């Protein structure tokens, strides 16, 4: 695909279900959807939060205060097994997909780092390269049972041929200071992979678009009861009222312009590819009256400090381990013993 010289970008958000606890099948599905979107001319494709690895809607992983049930421990083991390492073979495959179909790909995934899981967004370019990631800073409510907290080192905004691209996940979008940090990085295409299907979500996305003077693309999964394992392995609170085709996450994906105009969605009808043409000239038009980190910022009154270095619980002061003891003295290190 040849890149257009115009300032218009064809973008698609994917509203679809993951294949829970089956990452290879999820990746196969992702490729089918990506191929369809690329076939329709899309240059940017955004998948929902936790698409690879899955979102455990309705689950407690058998956990209550000071108690973890064996069934919940086993559910977490399966969830960890379906998560992906970054880098890793699944990341390589996603990069290959982006290169094959010549699109910018934004993918929600569950990342494992040791035995801690993170709700992560991965970025890939049309050359088939992994660009980087954003880890969710603040898991919402019971998500904290299964997900760790990201830090300020994964708040990227990538300067790409289609615009400055970044992502904020689900209810992170309600964090004003996080949004401000993204605006300060110059974000133009603001991706919002989410599991929020509440009535308030579309209005929140309209607010962010007008606040930031950016395009907002909110991609939401659409899930039915049959997309989860059957009881007794997985039981919803109102299980007795559900049929296999009962909707348990209704979507609501939406694309909004910097002026607040809804370009596509919200869609509550089922799995779908939702597309719109983003005219990047709309960004400076919107900034004329309101630039939240520019002429409207008042830095003489307000300021924000973002700690964007990796945080680690362990720091080793030696640059290399000590050599094997040969004569009663440890050598090869500046450490004192």
HSE at residue 181, side-chain half, CA atoms within 13 A, is 21
Per the CB < 8 A criterion, the answer to whether 42 and 31 are in contact is no
Tokens, residue 231? 């009881």
What is the C-alpha separation between 4 and 238, in angstroms, rounded?
50
Tell me the DSSP string of 288-314.
TT--TTTTT--TTT-------S---S-
Q: What DSSP element (H or E) covers 118?
A: strand 116-124
Burial class (CB in 10 A: 0-12, 13-18, 19+), 170: buried
Q: Choosing from 29, 49, 119, 172, which is the catalytic residue? A: 49
Tell me whether strands 116-124 and 130-135 are parallel, antiparallel or unpaired. antiparallel
Write the DSSP symbol of residue 284: H
- Crossing angle for the helix pair 89-101 and 23-39, to the nearest 10 degrees: 10
Asked whether the beta carbons of 292 and 213 are under 8 A apart, the reply is yes
Spatial contact of 322 and 333, defined as CB atoms under 8 Å apart: yes
Q: Which helix (H) or strand (E) holds 160?
A: strand 157-160
Task: Say how far apart CA 281 and CA 286 lie, in whole Å.
Answer: 9
Verify whether residue 143 is a known catalytic residue: no
Mark whether 170 is an active-site residue: yes
Per annotation, catalytic residue among 29, 133, 136, 224: 136
Specify the residue for token string 């409510």: 141
Told to judge if 172 belongs to the known catalytic residues of this protein, a careful annotator would answer no
Per annotation, catalytic residue among 75, 111, 133, 170: 170
Maximum pairwise Cα distance, the chain: 76
For residue 241 the two structure tokens come to 């009222």
d(CA 328, CA 232): 62
**Catalytic residue positions, numbered:** 49, 136, 170
């Amino acid at each position: 695909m040849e890149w257009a010289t115009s300032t218009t970008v064809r973008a698609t958000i994917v509203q679809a279900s993951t294949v829970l606890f089956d990452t290879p099948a999820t990746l196969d599905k992702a490729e089918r959807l990506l191929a369809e979107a690329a076939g329709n001319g899309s240059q940017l494709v955004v998948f929902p939060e936790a698409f690879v690895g899955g979102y455990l809607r309705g689950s407690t992983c058998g956990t209550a205060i000071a108690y973890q049930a064996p069934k919940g421990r086993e559910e977490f083991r399966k969830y960890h097994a379906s998560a992906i390492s970054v880098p890793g073979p699944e990341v390589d495959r996603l990069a290959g997909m982006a290169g094959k179909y010549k699109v910018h790909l934004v993918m929600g995934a569950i990342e494992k780092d040791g035995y801690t899981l993170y709700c992560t967004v991965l970025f890939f370019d049309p050359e088939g390269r992994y660009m980087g990631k954003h880890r969710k800073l603040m898991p919402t409510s019971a998500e904290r049972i299964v997900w760790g907290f990201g830090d300020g080192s994964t708040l990227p905004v990538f300067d790409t041929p289609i615009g400055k691209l970044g992502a904020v996940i689900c209810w992170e979008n309600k964090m004003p200071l996080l949004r401000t940090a993204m605006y300060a990085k110059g974000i133009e295409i603001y991706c919002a992979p989410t599991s929020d299907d509440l009535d308030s979500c579309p209005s929140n996305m309209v607010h962010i678009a007008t606040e930031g003077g950016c395009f907002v693309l909110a991609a939401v999964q659409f899930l039915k009861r049959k997309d989860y394992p059957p009881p007794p392995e997985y039981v919803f609170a109102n299980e007795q009222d559900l049929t296999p085709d009962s909707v348990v996450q209704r979507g609501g994906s939406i694309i909004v312009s910097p002026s607040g105009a809804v370009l596509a969605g919200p869609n509550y009808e089922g799995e779908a590819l939702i597309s719109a043409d983003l005219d990047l000239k709309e960004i400076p038009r919107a900034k004329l009256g309101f630039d939240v980190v520019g002429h409207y910022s008042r830095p003489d009154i307000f300021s924000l400090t973002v700690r964007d270095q990796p945080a680690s619980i362990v720091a080793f002061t030696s640059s290399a381990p000590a050599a094997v003891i040969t004569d009663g003295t440890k050598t090869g290190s500046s450490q004192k013993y």
